[in-house]
Amino acid sequence: MRTIECDRPPVTEDPSLQEAEAVAGALGADLRAGLTTMEAARRLTEHGRNELRSVEVPPWWRRFLGQFQSSLIYLLIGAVIVALAAWWIEGGEGWPVDALVITAVLLLNGTLGFVQESKAANAVAALGRMTAVLSSVMRNGQRQRIPSAELVPGDLLLLDEGDAVGADARLLTAAALRVQEASLTGESEAVLKNPAPLTAPAPIADRTPMVFKGTAVVQGSARAIVTATGMATEMGTIAKLLDATREEPTPLQTEVARIGRMLGIAVVVIALVVVATILTASEIGDIGDVAMVLLLAVSLAVAAVPEGLPAILTLVLALGVQRMAARNAVVKNLSSVETLGSATVICSDKTGTLTRSEMTIHRVVTASGETHITGVGYEPTGTVETEVGTEFADALKAEHIVVLSGGSLAGNAALRQEAGAAWEVQGDPTEAAFLVAERKLGLSARRQARFERVGQIPFTSDRKMMSTIERDLEHGGELVVITKGAPDMLIQRCDRVRVGMEVARFDEVRKAQALADVERLSSEALRTLGVAYRPLEPGETQDDAEALERDLIFVGTVGIIDPPREEAAVAIAEAHRAGIRVMMITGDHPSTAARIAAMLGIAPPEAPVLTGAELDTLDEPAFAAAVRETSVYARVAPVHKLRIVDALQADGHIVAMTGDGVNDAPALKSADIGIAMGITGTEVTKEAAKMILADDNFATIVAAVREGRAIFDNIRKFLRYLLSSNMGEVLTVFLGVVGAGIIGLQSSDGALVLPLLATQILWINLVTDTGPALAMGVDPATEDVMARPPRRREERVIDARMWEDVLTMGLVMAIASLLTIDIYLPGGLFEGGRSLDQARTAGFTVLVFAQLFKCFSARSESVSAFRHLFVNRWLWGAVTLSALLQVAVVEAAPLNVAFGTKPLTLDQWIVCLAMGSTVLWAAEARKWFMRRQVIR
């Protein structure tokens, strides 16, 4: 179902700059009872459903026909038409074998591509299956749960911890509301919201009076007025940018189209030259002569065009896709496998891609020292490591117990594990970090049994802290206030400090040291939180924050980080070894981005970090220069990511872009290959991407690069083989026609005779090309493909050296085949005594054997065919099968009739084998000479 796009937001001014009541008045909203059912229905009709405009999926028949849109396919369709015309001119007797076989190849290619891309689409759909999101609203004065798609501007939205925000909305009230906006902004930390209007316009990440569609509430509660739905939301704005982003063809698609155009021109030129030669040398007397000329044109088209190429290319890519699927990478477009192998730059988001998106306590600093807590993520396994030469003494351990248990008490998150499942949190990830660290020390059960909550003072932006009042059941029910918050604010409220099991005076020297510790942790891009407490006096008021949060006992500070994925560092090192530049583009804080980049090896610690605001000040030349030099970007908006990708492409790079949030989608679509995260990625991101990582593992990208490079090498192998084989066929026909008198290739009445029949050429292409070429498409890598730099965008799949090999080996094949025909024909250079059919059969067989020998030398441009000769059992199987089929077409009587062949004697078979092997020895001589040139 297509959604109705709202041309303008219902609130024309920025609602974050207005008072909440003014926004509600402009929307005609009732702040107590909400909208009526009737009014909500009217607005739903006016503004449309609260959904992003979905991409219209073309019908299956259009997707099937799309498989036939290439120059090579058009050329083969032309050959089918010519073959049918020739068959009809000859009287239409029997079956038009040439036309039917070429058509079968075309249908096979189209079906393979259609089936494989349909499988990818189904895999993507399976990844995207999710339950419908619900929202709580006030309707008719009653709280209701409705599908978020039915939200309308003016709805009174009720938000609680754990809710998904269903639409863009202006806050009316908020109690300790924190919203995780990473999917929209890239910011890893939950954002504290405040209903107070802003005094100046701000980027999305800093619009504290607003909540946005697609984000999630991790703490607190709120009431808000819906200001925009569907395509009018901030997420909709990104979706519009996505629609406007042009999707470029992959380098492989561009190169195959170029090859098709070149072959098309070559076919037309060769056909015209040969047909002109016939018309000049012969007299066209009747319709049969016309049919003869047309059949020759078909023969040349069939000889010049590797009609198996589209099907083989599709199969090789499909096999690569299957191998990638087994490694958790779902490829939506076949050509994208090879594109990733050509990538020169990988632009990666940080949160959830390079990092685990699981806040973890990394360091703890107390009066007695500092420790490092190992282990990352929500899995509560790890140890406490002290500084070198120190021990985890009783005093330090006592302080740690209070810091971690106190931080766990002063929060509302929960840490759970279902049977056999991974650990997960409910609530603020930062609060969950205390729960995980506490479990690592084995303190959780004791703390839960000892304390009972009796009150809470929520977090506010003014105080920058929150407190809970706990009853200490081990000390006669004594009440204790436990506070967690920004260390600089918390230290000001403390007059004592915990030292081991004792409490000491928190003098200026100790405070200065505590503040220096906070500064040091912050400089390392760690988020810092302090913990303090004090026992309450009997009769103290429990709801006055100012009175309770004073004269506290400071315990210590923790440094928290969203840890990088361990496998990401290894993958990045492998990418650098392969000559691939890795860039981080994130919406997070610059210092955090710099630290993670340094930890992962993306850039050295002293490397510059550019922010979105700084990028906005640069003109186009300065922007392009910055992109060449800087690898870490922070606080960027979606448009910045798109500009960075475009600048890299303009500089000649093949760009892979990874991401999981909606804000990544436009850049993913613009990149040469967009890679979405399958677990944490949004549906918009998955739709925009060409590849989806089902395991969200950055290391899978490097595995895909390796796979792509191996596929590209194999594509070059079978292209070298196919084109040289087809060149051999073209030159055999061309030189056979032009030099017919020299080799005695004429009938008794002087009429022109073709060295090969059209059906024989078609047999060669189907039998000797398809099997060996497909086997070369799965050839194991014979060298470390990650030890060389990526190929340049302007580098051709078929370069000058390959064309030289194609022409040289094609000429060797043609000469060997025509000399064999001459050996057995009367007249010519050699005086033979065999019939035309038998001589043609011998030449036909030599050409088949020459191509089979060529498939071994085509595996490398310079390495001898005798190295790694037996590593590809599929190639040996294909060659053996092709040779047996050639024996059958020569020796079996029914096939003799169909293909115009005659049986050969044993000595004739030996001659054919020897003549066919000349291409192998010629190739070995050429490679030896090339290696000598390199040494010199």
Catalytic residue annotation? 349
Non-local CB neighbours of 269 within 8 Å, separated by 6+ positions: none
Q: CA 818, CA 57: separation in Å to the nearest integer?
A: 53
User: Rounded to the nearest 5°, which phi and psi values hold at 581?
Assistant: -85, 135
Q: Which of 120, 122, 184, 127 is nearest to 696 (CA)?
A: 127
Helix (H, G, I), strand (E, B) or coil at 744: coil
Q: Which of 223, 211, 221 is nearest to 29 (CA)?
A: 223
Gyration radius (Cα) of the chain, Å: 37
What single string gives the DSSP state of each residue in 171-216?
Answer: EEEEEEEEEE-HHHH---SPEEP--SPPSS---GGG-TTEE-TT-E
Q: What six digits make up the tokens of 925?
A: 């001589």
Name the DSSP letter for residue 77: H
- Identify the residue whose tokens are 């992003």: 52
Q: Is 790 exposed, middle or buried (0-12, 13-18, 19+ CB in 10 A)?
A: buried
Q: What six digits make up the tokens of 62?
A: 């259009």
Q: Is 912 exposed, middle or buried (0-12, 13-18, 19+ CB in 10 A)?
A: buried
What is the identity of the amino acid at 36? T
Non-local CB neighbours of 624 within 8 Å, separated by 6+ positions: 647, 650, 651
Q: Which of 673, 700, 712 is nearest to 574 (CA)?
A: 700
Long-range interactions of 880-886: CB distance < 8 A, separation 24+: 881/771, 882/767, 882/768, 882/771, 882/772, 882/848, 882/852, 883/848, 883/849, 883/852, 885/767, 886/767, 886/768, 886/845, 886/848, 886/849
Q: CA 505, CA 515: separation in Å to the nearest integer?
A: 16
- Cα angle vertex 509, ends 503, 512, to 5°? 105
If residue 422 lies in a helix (H) or strand (E), which one and from where to where?
none
What single string gives the DSSP state of each residue in 436-476?
Answer: HHHHHTT-HHHHHHHEEEEEEEEEETTTTEEEEEEEEGGGT
Separation in Å, CA 892 to CA 210, 341, 814, 878: 81, 46, 26, 20
Q: CA 354, CA 396: separation in Å to the nearest integer?
A: 33
The answer to whether the CB of 331 falls within 8 A of the CB of 678 is: no
Residue 145: beta bridge partners? 136
- Cα angle vertex 695, ends 693, 697, to 5°? 80
The sign one gets for the Cα dihedral 812, 818, 821, 826 is negative
Half-sphere exposure of 439 toward its Cβ, with a 13 Å CA cutoff?
A: 17
If residue 738 lies in a helix (H) or strand (E), which one and from where to where?
helix 698-738
Q: Which of 775, 811, 777 is nearest to 919 (CA)?
A: 811
For the CA atoms of 436, 440, 442, 446, the dihedral, rounded to the nearest 10 degrees, stands at -20
Q: CA 718, CA 882: separation in Å to the nearest integer?
A: 16
Cα 133 to chain centroid, rounded: 27
Residues in the chain, total = 936
The answer to whether the CB of 69 falls within 8 A of the CB of 77 is: no
- Identify the residue whose tokens are 């009720």: 158
What is the identity of the amino acid at 684? V
Angle between helices 620-629 and 638-650 (to 10 degrees): 80
Q: What six digits make up the tokens of 467?
A: 């407190």
